[in-house]
C-alpha cells in the first residue's frame, strides 16, 4: 500500500517508541505488518528524517531510538558512560561500545560554554576545554552534567 512520507514517518516513530528494534530488517517487518511497502533505502531515509539513532541498550544489544526520546533523559547518557579522565589539557570519556558518537552529541547539545568541542570514536570521546587555563572547570562541568541527581 502506497502511503505518503508523513504517514510513514509517523508509523516509524510509533514502531521505535513501542518496540525494541535492533535492525532495519526488524523495522521493515514491523512497517510491512502495518501495510507499508518499504525497502532498505526508504527506511534509511526515514530514520534520518525522524532523527533516529542506533545505540546499545544496557545489555549491550543494538537498538534504534528517537534522538528526541533519548535527549529527554540524561540518565540514558549516564548509562552509556564508563569513565571520565583528564590529563590536564584534555578530557577523555570512555563509553559503552558504539555509544560515543551519541553521547558526544548529547554533550554538544548542552551548549556548555566551557566545552569547545568533542570528537568521538566508537567508545571514546575527546572533550576539548574552551580554555586550557580553565580545564578543571570544564572537568567539573562535565561531571556535573553526567552525575546522578542523588550524588
d(CA 134, CA 91): 12
Q: Are residues 80 and 142 in the same domain?
A: yes
Residue 15 covered by a domain: yes
Q: Are residues 32 and 84 in the same domain?
A: no
Cβ contact 128:116 at 8 Å: yes
3-state secondary structure of 25: helix
Domains held by the chain: number = 2
**Model pTM greater than 0.75?**
no
- Of the three residues 32, 51, 71, the one that is the final residue of a domain is 71
CATH number of the CATH domain containing 128: 3.30.1360.40
Residue 46 covered by a domain: yes
- Of the three residues 71, 88, 116, the one that is the final residue of a domain is 71
Residue 43 covered by a domain: yes
Residue 99 covered by a domain: yes
- Of the three residues 71, 96, 114, the one that is the final residue of a domain is 71
| pLDDT at position 1 | 46
Residue 151 covered by a domain: no
Q: In what order do the strands lie in the sheet with 91-95?
A: 81-86, 91-95, 124-129, 115-120
Q: Are residues 26 and 63 in the same domain?
A: yes
pLDDT along the chain (151 residues), means of 10: 80 90 94 93 93 77 76 73 92 92 85 91 95 89 76 50
| pLDDT at position 58 | 63
Q: Are residues 62 and 92 in the same domain?
A: no
Residue 81 covered by a domain: yes
Range of the domain at 63: 5-71
| pLDDT at position 66 | 84
CATH number of the CATH domain containing 30: 1.10.10.10
| pLDDT at position 150 | 53
Residue 101 covered by a domain: yes
d(CA 65, CA 138): 29
Amino acid at each position: 500500500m502506497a502511503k505518503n512520507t508523513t504517514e510513514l514517518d509517523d508509523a516509524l516513530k510509533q514502531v521505535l517508541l513501542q518496540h525494541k528494534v535492533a535492525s532495519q530488517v526488524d523495522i521493515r517487518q514491523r512497517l510491512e505488518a502495518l501495510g507499508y511497502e518499504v525497502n532498505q533505502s526508504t527506511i534509511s531515509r526515514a530514520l534520518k528524517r525522524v532523527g533516529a539513532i542506533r545505540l546499545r541498550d544496557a545489555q549491550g544489544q543494538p537498538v534504534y531510538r528517537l534522538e528526541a526520546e533519548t535527549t529527554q533523559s540524561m540518565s540514558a547518557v549516564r548509562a552509556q558512560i564508563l569513565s571520565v579522565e583528564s590529563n590536564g589539557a584534555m578530557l577523555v570519556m570512555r563509553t559503552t561500545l558504539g555509544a560515543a558518537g551519541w553521547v558526544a552529541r548529547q554533550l554538544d547539545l548542552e551548549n556548555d560554554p566551557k566545552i569547545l568541542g568533542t570528537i568521538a570514536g566508537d567508545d571514546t570521546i575527546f572533550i576539548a576545554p574552551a580554555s586550557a587555563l580553565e580545564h578543571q572547570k570544564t572537568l567539573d562541568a562535565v561531571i556535573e552534567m553526567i552525575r546522578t541527581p542523588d550524588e
